[in-house]
Structure 1
Amino acid sequence: MTYRRAAIPALIGGLLLAALLWWAGSSADALRLPGSVGTLGPDAVAELQRWVAPWAYDPPSFLDAGVQGHGYVLLGDDGRDRYNGIYTAGLQIRYGAVFAAFVLGALLLIRRLPPVRGRTTAAFLALWAWGAAAGTLAAAVSAPWFIAAAGHGSHRFLPQLASVTAAGRQLPVAVSLVAAGATVLVARIAAEGASTPPRTEVPARAARLAATAGTAVIALSVVVLSYQPVAAALQAYSPDGGLLAEPGDLLRQWLLLGAWDAPAAGAVVDWLLHRASDVLLLAVVWWALSRLPGLLTRVTLPAMAAGAVGATVLGLLASQLLRIAVVQTGPQQGLLYSSAAIGNGIPAALTCGLLAGVVATAVLRLSLRGAPEPAA
């Protein structure tokens, strides 16, 4: 599919994603109505407020009350307006960033993985995963403005950056389903009348070898870096003073896809259930990476990297759903409470997925060296 044909569905998907996030954020006021607690229950309302607050235009409570950040410094009207302006600018940057990130990723995915017969499901899943990743990228890009709006941006900047980036991760995961579906539908309409995009002919052995190499990068995060003593060493690392002090939270957020330790006495079954979710993550990544080269119209580094990010995000979400269904579900836990961890690890999925895509592409090209050039 040409870029001209791919641009329209990518733009529509990006606009829909931003509009749905704005609509959800604008609904924050409705959750404060007395009837909301009576209808949904206090726990569900509190959890929904946590989902939508990072995307709401309502200023934080400490600014609304004329108090600056955690220092409780009283502000006059001019000071309050100034910090409210910074917060609003940060939110505008967040919406602009989520739109731009989704459009750029969707443009590449639709071009190389067009949603035509035999590829529609793969394209939908890749776009859904990329929408969730776009939300995380937008949160990271806009985080400095939110930190500045709190009035204490120079204090523990990196831990604050990690905290702001992690907020609001569930909402993009949910609304990206709708945006991905609309993007695929429009892309299928745009593809009508065009010739059927060819598939890249990749030997099965080369595809499996590349998938294994890419999955090994993900396993490095899941098995090695996520081991508690190693994660603790990352957490404890800190340069001396300045804005780069205490990077532990940020390093864990962008490098670790899980957390595990040796099983405690009498808890082997629970430990194995948690490890089953890690196995599922690696299995989904390997299966997706082994299929990806044959689905692409042309194997390129950007397409493989974007596809690997999508595979890692999908594997991460699948593992979290398994953990909710098997490990965390209980009679006292509602669906919203159980899904509070959905979206954890997406920053690390971006980092590790990009590296996995690069490694898989390099191994695939080495495997095909000397072989006939596959059909483009």
Structure 2
Amino acid sequence: MAYRRAVIPALVGGLLITLLLWWAGASAQALQLRGSTSVFDVDSVNELRRWLTPWSYDPSTALPSDGSVGTGTDGGGGGTRYSELYRTAMQIRFVTLFAFFVAGALLLLRRMPPTQGRTPATLLALWAWGPVAATLAVTVSAPWLIASRGRGSYRVLPQLAGVIASSGPVAVFAGLATALLTVVVARVTAKGAVPLPRRSVPPRAARTAAGVGTAVVAVSLVVLSYQSVAAWIQTSFSGAGLLSEPGDLLRQWLLLGAWSGPSTMSFGHWLLYRAADVVLLAVVWWSLRLLPGLLTRTTAPAMVLGAVCATVLGLLASQVLHMAVDDTAAVWGPVHVFSALGTGVPAALTFGVMSGLAALATLRLAGDRDPLPSAVVPA
């Protein structure tokens, strides 16, 4: 699909996910009303507030109300400046969310148009890209948000890790709705274009590339996420000054999960949780196996973006399986079941990029040079 055809659905998707998350943030204030606990239980209200607050444009829902922000020699003026700084952070967050989603969607629609049997793959890739765009937007706006809390120089890296982790399940749900509409618009704009056939990739090369890419993801999921290794990452890097205590931030961008031996639970329950890890790797392998044939051209940006989306999809699949075996709903409320949805996206981004590059290098070494037929002219 040519850029002039892909730009319209990409812009529509970027606008929709921005509006959905803005609307979600605007709903956070409603949870502070007295009647909210009559609809949901207290634990569910608190959990929903945690989901929505990172996208709230109103400083009163996010900044401390105990006077810890803005108290100084300038009286109430300090609080006003912190509120303005918070609004600036949210403006940056929503603008970068729009920009990141449009950029990724444009590349996905360009290299994986929803035609020739690619529609389900395009839909899933766009859905996975939604939480990634939200995570990137939260990361870019984090310095302003931390400064608006009035303690920007105190434990900067742990604060940064906490802000990045706050994207939450709401981005996953917004990403799904956005992907559906984006694909519908893309199919409309693709009408009349010369269809680009799916590429023929040697099966052995595709399987080898998928295996190499999955092995890269397994380094995070199996090796780095093991309890003792994760503890070493947490404690071995001390840093100094503003860069002190980087452990939380490193774990966030390097660990796709967390696991240990079956000593703390029954062996059957332990195997059930490990099955979720197997599902993650299986989804990644299968996605990378199909990815070269789904793309119109296996360029480095397309392979990297596709691998990132594949890793996020695997992560979401494993989290859904965890939700199915979770027995905490009766204790914390039904909303708590979805609380882990969307966690681990920073690590999925890190290892998805490396996985895509490794898979592309393997394809090239296997002789797949990605020729574009001269008779095919993109519309």
TM-score range, shorter chain: over 0.9
Asked whether the equivalents of residues 53 and 62 of structure 2 are also in contact (C-alpha less than 8 Å), the reply is no
Percent identity between matched residues is 56
- For 1:1-376, list aligned pairs within 5 A: 1-60=1-60, 63=63, 65=65, 67-69=67-69, 76-264=75-263, 267-328=266-327, 331-368=330-367, 373=371, 375=373
State the distance in 1 between where 2:264 and 2:242 align: 42
Asked whether the equivalents of residues 222 and 258 of structure 1 are also in contact (C-alpha less than 8 Å), the reply is yes
State the distance in 2 between where 1:236 and 1:64 align: 30
State the distance in 1 between where 2:312 and 2:162 align: 20
Letter in 1 for 2:37: V
State the distance in 2 between where 1:193 and 1:267 align: 58
1:266, distance to aligned residue in structure 2 (A): 5.7
State the distance in 1 between where 2:305 and 2:290 align: 14
Which of 232-241 and 352-361 deviates more? Answer: 232-241
Task: Give the superposed CA RMSD.
Answer: 1.9
Consecutive unaligned residues of structure 1, counting only runs of 5 or more, are none
Which of 163-172 and 306-315 deviates more? Answer: 163-172
Asked whether the equivalents of residues 253 and 350 of structure 2 are also in contact (C-alpha less than 8 Å), the reply is yes
State the distance in 1 between where 2:192 and 2:265 align: 63
1:326, distance to aligned residue in structure 2 (A): 1.8
Post-superposition Cα deviations, 1:94-129, rounded to whole Å, max 9, x if no partner, equal 001110010000000000000114111100000000
SS at match of 1:27: helix
Post-superposition Cα deviations, 1:278-334, rounded to whole Å, max 9, x if no partner, equal 000000000000001001111111001000010000100100110110244554453
Asked whether the equivalents of residues 239 and 246 of structure 2 are also in contact (C-alpha less than 8 Å), the reply is no
Matched residues, number:
374
1:195, distance to aligned residue in structure 2 (A): 1.1
Letter in 2 for 1:316: L
C-alpha change, 1:352 and 1:17, in structure 2 (3 Å) is same
Which of 84-93 and 196-205 deviates more? Answer: 196-205
1:46, distance to aligned residue in structure 2 (A): 1.4
Asked whether the equivalents of residues 68 and 74 of structure 1 are also in contact (C-alpha less than 8 Å), the reply is no
Runs of 4+ in 1 over 6 A off after TM superposition: none
Which of 220-229 and 58-67 deviates more? Answer: 58-67
1:244, distance to aligned residue in structure 2 (A): 1.3
C-alpha change, 1:321 and 1:72, in structure 2 (3 Å) is farther
State the distance in 2 between where 1:110 and 1:343 align: 23
Which of 73-82 and 296-305 deviates more? Answer: 73-82
User: TM-score, structure 2 length as denominator?
Assistant: 0.94
User: TM-score, structure 1 length as denominator?
Assistant: 0.95
Asked whether the equivalents of residues 215 and 286 of structure 1 are also in contact (C-alpha less than 8 Å), the reply is yes
Post-superposition Cα deviations, 1:326-369, rounded to whole Å, max 9, x if no partner, equal 24455445331111111110000000101100000000111016
State the distance in 1 between where 2:44 and 2:329 align: 16
C-alpha change, 1:246 and 1:234, in structure 2 (3 Å) is same
C-alpha change, 1:120 and 1:374, in structure 2 (3 Å) is same
1:64, distance to aligned residue in structure 2 (A): 6.6
1:30, distance to aligned residue in structure 2 (A): 1.6
